[in-house]
A and B are shown apart, each in its own frame.
Chain A
Amino acid sequence: MEDREKLNRLRWRCTRRAMLEMDLLLGEFLDRIFPTLTPGQADAFVTLADMEDLELWPLVTGSRECSDLVQAEVLALLRDVRVK
């Protein structure tokens, strides 16, 4: 798959989610932060985006801990996205 196709697929999966909270957060992250990630962080983000919303939300808010170090880095960045 080309990069454009991969990015568009990721965009769809970030902005057509079960919960509005996640559409807003992941959509904003994809536009603003994703382009600045290292390749390792980008992969970790794809893994996180593949999770279901009720799994991911407690990781984002920090009410559940994430054992994967790179994913934890990305989650910290996600937490800093303030959607306005």
Chain B
Amino acid sequence: MSKLTIPVRKFDAVIVGAGGSGLRAAIQLSEAGLKTAVLSKVFPTRSHTVAAQGGVSASLGNSEEDHWHWHMYDTVKGSDWLGDQDAIEYMCRKAPEVVVELEHFGMPFDRTDEGKIYQRPFGGHMSNFGEKPVRRACAAADRTGHAMLHALYQRNVRANTQFFVEWMALDLIRDDSGQVLGVIALEMETGEVVAFHAKATIFATGGAGRIFYSSTNAFINTGDGLGMAARAGIPLEDMEFWQFHPTGVAGAGVLITEGVRGEGGILRNSANERFMERYAPNAKDLASRDVVSRAMVTEINEGRGCGPNKDFVLLDITHLDPATIMKRLPGIREISIQFAGIDPIKAPIPVVPTCHYQMGGVPTNYKGQVVAPDGTPVRGFYAAGEVACASVHGANRLGTNSLLDLLVFGKASGDSVIEDVQSGAIGLKELPENFADFTMARLKRLNTQTGGADVNETRLELQRTMQKHCGVFRFKDMLVDGVAKIVEIEKAVARTEIKDKSQVWNTARVEALELDNLIEVAKATMVSAEARKESRGAHVRDDAPDTAANPNGRDDVNWHKHTLWQREGNGLSYKPVIMTPLSVESIALKTRSY
């Protein structure tokens, strides 16, 4: 192979991603005196963590008695027993520590009259092993994610973390032994391609919700970390599990909070029927997220959707007093006017279940080290946050556990790097001669492609295919067809063409490179979902219904295991769920019911 030379910069550690997880990891490293680079596609405080409003969970017990063991139980149950119990214990035990630490970093949490961190109730948070609701969510008004990012960013500035803003990491550098030696990245402002050569590489690139047509995720969530890992031969874990939020604005995807139904909002089909009465006679419109989402999809699939294409249902608040709407739900009224063209005081809002959160990701242990299928760490490689699968969320994430995941595993990955560097387990190994060839060939292909596929059209086709074939409610034949379709779309992705060939600020090139990542995530999701012949958590199949032998369609005998999707050959393997916690007794398999 030819020896292509590109500029090389050397660091102790390179972190890809400046959201909550990347910034938390960076604090550990910079404060320990490691020379640390953080790469981000956008200015750090514009990362998607900003969108999180609900809060971050920790069993502080500030308002009433709480215990990390109860939090652990809720998380295992929420995960439908697919979460690894060592990682879940670790996260729940560490929660109070990392939240208080964040407070010391300057996070302006809401407070009780005595000045303690105020805690509010949240779905799925219970005391005494599922007995009754408990106040566990800590928040800073409705801007928790925003406040968190600002606090973490300021702390990094103080610690001299070096930021590379509007840089896009393209590929991992791995040598023949499998050790990770850094990343290759593109600076958008110059078009320059540079190697970040480091002892340790941490991925904190966030989620990939843009594989779906309807998504609450911002455009930035293109799964770059997953794409890079997959191309470097790292398998992706449990990618069939995606959490859907029942009420995204049809078309736009923008989230309408549960609070609207809390205030009396009613879901209706094309016959104006309050259909939730049939699916959940007691809770009705306030049933849990997955129940409501599935009911909506059933209505649409059975021809009772609304609009010219019968592809959405309506969220009706027209019966509420306009004064209540103006007072209690002003933000929702603005969103509806702006993104549905509808004033909800006068007409109902068109909504569809919308992709919200990715439970799977790059497989790690509870120390934030990326692991091979047999559990041994991949030397030099770490991951945290939504890109990683520790696995604490299993088949379904509990609300507010994601922000907690960022703090706990951001910090843990940083600590692991420090330990591995100090013990000499990893050092600055020489780069292989051809380390840049693969990436440069990808860039050259893109630059010289003629008669190829349009990036926007191909992305849209990918998103529509995922939505139709692998959405909230999954059907055997649709999944089989979906795999065939995604493999076809992959061929188009391999021959995308861009008209703009310039170097500086070539956003067409960057979008084509993002699509290279989306396709890996889409394949992993579709193939993993087609293979898993049970319903569990967020993965619900029509052909795996609720029976006495398999309550809720869950089949523990055959499917209580993690999926690993490998890019090479589009193949799957499986590994056991870790049922042994670190210090307490295992939480045994049980039917998940609320």
Contacts and interface: CB of A to CB of B under 8 A. Distances in A.
B504 A5 contact: yes
A62 B188 CA distance: 34
Interface in B481-520: 502, 504-507, 510
B419 to A, nearest CB: 33
A2 B251 CA distance: 35
A1 B502 CA distance: 13
Contact of A84 (B45, B255, B341): B341
Contact of A21 (B49, B330, B335): B335
Interface string A13-34: 1011111111111010000000
Given A20-B219, A20-B254, A63-B330, A54 B507 contact: no
A17 B221 CA distance: 10
B218 A17 contact: yes
Interface string B236-272: 0000000000000001111100000000000000000
Contacts of A82: 338, 341
A24 B339 contact: yes
Interface string B40-67: 0110011111110000000000000000
A39 to B, nearest CB: 20
A20 B510 contact: no
Given A21-B254, A83-B338, A84-B341, A16 B219 contact: yes
A2 B189 CA distance: 12
Interface residues of B, number: 38
Given A19-B50, A83-B338, A84-B251, A12 B219 contact: no
Nearest to B506: A8
Contacts, number: 94
Contacts of A18: 42, 45-51, 146, 218
A19 B502 contact: no
Interface string B210-240: 0000011111100000000000000000000
Contacts of B50: 18-19, 52-54
A54 B546 CA distance: 43
A5 B506 CA distance: 8
A8 to B, nearest CB: 4
Contacts of A15: 219
A39 B143 CA distance: 34
A12 B188 contact: yes
Nearest to A9: B505
Nearest to A15: B219
Most buried by B among A9, A13, A24: A24
Contact of B42 (A16, A20, A21, A63): A16
B166 interface: yes
Nearest to A81: B338
B437 interface: no
Contacts of B143: 54
A21 B338 contact: yes
B46 A17 contact: yes
B502 A16 contact: no
Nearest to B333: A61
A19 to B, nearest CB: 5
Nearest to B146: A54
A4 B502 contact: yes
A19 B218 contact: yes
Contacts of B219: 15-17, 20, 23, 27
Nearest to B216: A20
B208 to A, nearest CB: 14
B305 to A, nearest CB: 18
Interface residues of A, number: 33
A46 to B, nearest CB: 14
Contact of A83 (B47, B218, B252): B252
Contacts of A61: 331, 334, 338
Nearest to B248: A20
A8 B509 CA distance: 11
A63 B146 CA distance: 19
Most buried by B among A1, A5, A20, A79: A20
Contacts of B188: 9, 12
Contacts of B216: 20
A15 B218 CA distance: 9
Most buried by B among A6, A8, A18, A81: A18
B252 A12 contact: no
Interface in B292-336: 330-331, 334-335
B95 to A, nearest CB: 24
B511 to A, nearest CB: 9
B505 A20 contact: no
A25 B170 CA distance: 28
B341 A12 contact: no
A4 B218 CA distance: 25
Contacts of B251: 84
Interface string A42-84: 0000000000111000001101000000000000000101111
A69 B502 CA distance: 37
Most buried by A among B48, B251, B338: B338
Contacts of A17: 42, 46, 218-220
A25 B338 contact: yes
Nearest to A4: B502
29 contacts: A1-B505, A2-B504, A4-B502, A8-B505, A12-B505, A12-B510, A16-B42, A16-B46, A16-B218, A16-B220, A18-B48, A18-B51, A18-B218, A19-B218, A20-B215, A20-B216, A20-B217, A20-B255, A21-B338, A23-B219, A52-B50, A52-B146, A53-B46, A53-B50, A54-B146, A61-B331, A82-B338, A82-B341, A84-B341
Interface of B: 41-42, 45-51, 143, 146, 166, 188-189, 215-220, 251-255, 330-331, 334-335, 338-339, 341, 502, 504-507, 510
The 5 tightest CB contacts between A and B, nearest first, are A18-B50, A8-B505, A61-B334, A5-B505, A23-B219
Given A5-B505, A8-B505, A82-B341, 19 more contacts: A2-B504, A4-B505, A5-B504, A8-B506, A8-B507, A16-B41, A16-B42, A17-B218, A18-B146, A19-B218, A20-B51, A20-B215, A20-B218, A20-B253, A20-B254, A21-B339, A24-B254, A60-B338, A61-B334
